[in-house]
Amino acid sequence: MPTISSSPATILASMARWSISLYCKSRYPRPSRVQQGCLELGEEELHLWWTRPAWWSEESVLARRSQLTTAELARVARFHFEHDRHSAAVVRLFIRQLLSHYAAVAPAQWRFETGAHGRPEIIAPPLPLRFNLSHCDNLVVAAVVQRHSVGVDCELTRRQCSISALAERFFAPTEAAELRALPPEAQRQRFFDLWTLKESYIKALGLGLAQPLNQFTFRLLSRNGEEEQITLDDNERDFASNWRYWLLRPTADYRIAITLPTITPLPYRLVSRALLPTASVLAEPLQQVV
């Protein structure tokens, strides 16, 4: 598979081929939508946004510095290396800019509150928008939905780490056993499948690492030889069947997972969009409807 390059056009072509784990059928009616801004977000829709810190020049970040609060600027300044400070600023500017596509709210006017386990939430203005962020290497992703507590995680699969040691420590016994039965390269790919799913799940719960990763189990079952059915066993909770899961593989080097608790009987429609600092939005949906 191709690697993600710094060219937006190259990434657009790559992202459009992402594999998705759920289906959506057009016969279902469309519920009410958030329509205050230039983008609509239906109650049965999940929008996945992404950007790259490398796309944001130092000048573009400095020009938007006033959008950040004093507390945000202080957190950015704590990073020792310049590239880390740059990435931290981009993450914060990214979420403000993309949220302003849903409402007539300037990026600087959004106010957030961080929960006990580190999850940021919108506290002003009072809109039914929920989001979650993740970033790794040179990729930043954000999932945006109405009302529900969504979780998203992205990982760079080529990073150096001891797959077996991490699995034995953090995975449920059946997950670790499944990995041991695979050849080395397949182990690495399946490890990041499971890791991103587990991270997205605990983020959707709003618990972060306060929820031990080895106390619940994900299973990936092949369907039609290509797509995968994702199931969850969590003995502490009896509502696993009400959750939706997406597992995305934009290239061999990246893995993205999304978890969404929902009570709606409607399948969800996933739309992926890129956000550039030099343009308001790449308006055409990049992702297939699922």
Report yes or no on 221 lying in a domain: yes
pLDDT, tens only, 103-118: 999 999 999 999 888 8
Domain that holds residue 231: 157-261
What's the number of domains the chain is made of?
A: 2
How much is the pLDDT for 283?
40
pLDDT, tens only, 26-80: 222 333 345 444 788 988 899 999 999 999 999 999 999 999 999 999 999 999 9
Report yes or no on 26 lying in a domain: no
Mean pLDDT for the stretch of residues 223-245: 73
Residues 162 and 142 in one domain: no
Residues 142 and 275 in one domain: yes
Q: Which residues contact 174 (CB under 8 A, 6 or more apart)?
A: 217, 219
Q: Which residues contact 184 (CB under 8 A, 6 or more apart)?
A: none
Report yes or no on 2 lying in a domain: no
Residues 97 and 137 in one domain: yes
Residues 287 and 232 in one domain: no
Instruction: State both tokens at 154.
Output: 């992205």
Residues 248 and 289 in one domain: no
Report yes or no on 253 lying in a domain: yes
How much is the pLDDT for 100?
93
What's the CATH code of the domain at 75? Answer: 3.90.470.20
Q: Report whether pLDDT(257) > 80.
A: yes
How much is the pLDDT for 276?
81
Residues 290 and 201 in one domain: no
Q: In whole angstroms, what is the distance from residue 60 CA to residue 67 CA?
A: 12
Mean pLDDT for the stretch of residues 198-208: 89
Q: Cβ(134)–Cβ(177) under 8 Å?
A: no
| Residue in 122, 114, 166, 172 with CA at minimum distance from that of residue 147 | 122
Q: In whole angstroms, what is the distance from residue 258 CA to residue 202 CA?
A: 11
- Mean pLDDT across the chain, nearest whole number? 81
Residues 122 and 182 in one domain: no
pLDDT band at 22 (very low <50, low <70, confident <90, very high): very low
